[in-house]
Chains A and B, each alone.
Chain A
């Protein structure tokens, strides 16, 4: 059974019909890429899954449980964690305080250990643990946002445009990290405009077009798909 099943969701911004029946599945242990151009509904899809927005129709099932009407903060304790678009680090808290915030819902004693493993995943963050997050570079902030999302020990990690606004060198690093996280058993749903990079690490992918799933296939096939190549990979 799929870990996450999104079935025919319709989400609105006021009167604007943003998602017009999006359906897809994410299996446990997979990396799934949602690609599409600006305004296709990628971020809206993530916000709907994470509970920040509620769909007017359709269902979102996580681990066999209907969650589309559930409050966002409760989903975190169920194991869904999100790295928001534009990183969203708490600029006026230190790096370590940001990581502590990530573990907000936890009350177990293992937080200290997880802090250590976050630092071993991102040694740069340890160097800057007493710095305000707002003073970090864009790449470091992205690392912090990912590390913070992992602090809640998620089973499903939602990543919203992790490559946005980063230098190409840093983008490679971010995607490598994502792969490493997946290899530790975390299921990943990745939203990206950078289709080229996303499809390289993903198992399967969905192409969103004006609020609907236009194509769905394995990542390898999508990379060969003519439309995808033309529209999203810039290959003629």
Chain B
């Protein structure tokens, strides 16, 4: 009993049950079964199964870390790994039993006994705490009745309907098939398989933790890369098919799935690479930072040139489908860089950024459309309208900024949120219908024409986004180091003190809103040209929230962070289209996880890194 009460076992218990709950929850919402559809390695493991495996593996790894902090020995850490594996499987095993016709009686037994047990435990606890017999009996009755009402109703439902699916709609054949590792017919064997896989994974996790640093890092790298490429097999195949011949491709992939040999080779190669990086990586980095300014700069320049070359060649390397994704990512990078001027630099929490996007899109639509709503029918080209869209968005940004200049923090956020909604309503309104088409939107927007070629493919449109992003990037880097940028940072830090420095805060904020709006307009115009039609339901509050989230996930006030944030939050969902029903679940989970584990973002700016280390309040809070 004492062993169970120690801090160590409590940690293991809670972590294990957490991982079990994760497996159960993802199963109950249908994620496990849906992810099973995508194979990671051909005829070996699916994404759904990978989830079942990863949960105990990762949890055991962290549990081992906790145990090491408490000074536990290595064998105990291995035992903890096994325990985590068992606990992970436990909730799913129970549900499997409840779900089978043979063992359904266990469910009814549990449901009928649960109120009695719960009542007895609570009443007994009260008694031991010194309550009187009468009170204890009263509590016993109360709890038994209250819990009983719930569990007996469930029992009734299950009895009438005959299975669990009446309540847990996703606990179905498919789910059972996945969690029993294809042993649906023989339940006991399936449960054994689940338990065994879970325990082995848990044990694997704790063994991994016990390995010396170099092989550990190498393995983490190898496993991670293989799993990632396997999970995004379709993407990997699309990239490869542009660059290798068909036969080689067939050796590596079976349709969109990595073949076993290829996966093994990939694992060996990436582990070896990880091994060398773990051995020599820190040395290399150290040697690099010890270089003189001249050579270091040269290395940086070479790196930058390579990066630009890669960016320029990207459409050829990745093909049409992925170029399309790249254009969408680029549109959001543009908006992210723009919004970052308001949020990251000036600390103005703008939740109505979609306004600028919509203005840009509609301006381009109305001015260039050759459909019935086009005002000029071909007089204006994409290139002449881009500056107009930019100016119009800046004007909109300016107009909306004027009334909110005196607001700070939360109030500002809510007001801008309201403006975003107003724009959405205006776009769909009857009032503006003669001009912008109401719910039908504007159609027949021609593609941009560059030197006589119509840029109709995503590979071609990509270059427009790239050029716009590079210009924006350049401007925002220059702004960051300028007097103007400084004045925004001062306002973000403390508006009153900024005023006391002689900064005209009203003007500075207007400028921030106006400049920040500019790229939104360009992004909207490119979006309209890409899609060819503009509908009001493309401009919802989710655009604003997406842009804000990608800034936060990437790292506030960090330009590389914004690009990474856009790839993660915009690109990944595009590549995981088949799981779009879980998109917001995953999105939310990612945001929560990020805020807990890495609030400074994936690639934090130097200022935010400093905050995270010294505990100075984050930029958003300081804005208030």
Contact = CB atoms under 8 A, between A and B. Distances in A.
B489 A90 contact: yes
Given A132-B610, A134-B614, A101 B500 contact: no
Contacts of A77: 502
Contacts of B42: none
Of residues A51, A52, A92, A97, which shows the largest number of chain B Cβ atoms within 10 Å of its Cβ? A92
Contacts of A50: 500
Interface residues on A, range: 20 to 34
Contact of B496 (A81, A88, A105): A88
B495 to A, nearest CB: 10
Interface in A12-69: 50-52
A71 interface: yes
Interface of B is mostly: helix
B500 A104 contact: no
Of residues B483, B499, B500, B502, which shows the largest number of chain A Cβ atoms within 10 Å of its Cβ? B500
Contacts of A82: 500
A125 B610 CA distance: 19
A91 B616 contact: yes
A162 interface: no
B486 A97 contact: yes
A57 B616 CA distance: 40
Of residues B489, B493, B497, B498, which shows the largest number of chain A Cβ atoms within 10 Å of its Cβ? B497
B501 A52 contact: no
B494 A88 contact: yes
A203 interface: no
A187 interface: no
B497 A90 contact: yes
Given A73-B505, A134-B614, A52 B499 contact: yes
Contacts of A51: 499
A88 B498 CA distance: 9
B489 A93 contact: yes
Nearest to A151: B501
B313 to A, nearest CB: 38
A135 interface: yes
A73 B619 CA distance: 23
Nearest to B615: A134
Interface in B9-33: none
A92 B493 contact: yes
A76 interface: yes
B496 A76 contact: no
A171 B407 CA distance: 37
Interface of A is mostly: mixed
Interface in A135-174: 135, 148-149, 152
A205 interface: no
Given A92-B607, A93-B493, A101 B614 contact: no
A84 interface: yes
A152 B607 contact: no
B503 interface: yes
A91 B607 CA distance: 10
B501 A135 contact: no
Contacts of A149: 500
Nearest to A77: B502
B549 interface: no
A9 interface: no
Contacts of B607: 92, 132
A100 interface: yes
Nearest to A47: B496
A72 interface: yes
B215 to A, nearest CB: 38
Given A93-B489, A93-B493, A104-B487, A76 B611 contact: no
A71 to B, nearest CB: 7
Interface in A97-138: 97, 100-102, 104-105, 132, 134-135
Contacts of A132: 607, 610, 614, 616
Contact of A92 (B498, B500, B501, B611): B611
B490 A90 contact: yes
A12 B494 CA distance: 22
B502 A84 contact: no
Nearest to A135: B614
B511 to A, nearest CB: 14
A157 B499 CA distance: 15
B501 A152 contact: yes
A72 B497 contact: no
A52 B490 contact: no
Contacts of B483: 104
A186 B500 CA distance: 17
Contacts of B505: 73
B504 interface: yes
Nearest to B500: A82
B489 A73 contact: no
A92 B504 contact: no
Contacts of A152: 501-502
Nearest to B605: A92
B617 to A, nearest CB: 8
B497 A81 contact: no
B493 A91 contact: yes
B611 A100 contact: no
Contacts of A84: 496-497, 500
Contacts of B498: 101
Nearest to A107: B483
Interface in B234-287: none
A83 B611 CA distance: 24
Contacts of B490: 90, 93, 101, 104
B164 to A, nearest CB: 54
A133 to B, nearest CB: 9
A76 B614 contact: no
A90 B488 CA distance: 12
A167 B185 CA distance: 77
Nearest to A88: B497
Nearest to A102: B501
Contact of B489 (A76, A92, A134, A135): A92
Interface in A176-204: none
Contacts of A90: 489-490, 493-494, 497
A132 B616 CA distance: 11
B145 to A, nearest CB: 54
B486 A52 contact: no
30 contacts: A52-B496, A72-B500, A73-B501, A73-B504, A76-B500, A76-B501, A76-B502, A77-B502, A82-B500, A84-B500, A88-B494, A88-B496, A88-B500, A90-B490, A90-B493, A91-B493, A92-B493, A92-B610, A92-B622, A93-B486, A93-B489, A93-B490, A93-B493, A101-B501, A104-B487, A104-B501, A105-B502, A132-B610, A134-B614, A134-B616
Interface of B: 483, 486-487, 489-490, 493-494, 496-505, 607, 610-611, 614, 616, 619, 622
The 6 A-B residue pairs whose C-beta atoms are closest, nearest first, are A76-B502, A105-B502, A88-B497, A90-B493, A72-B499, A82-B500
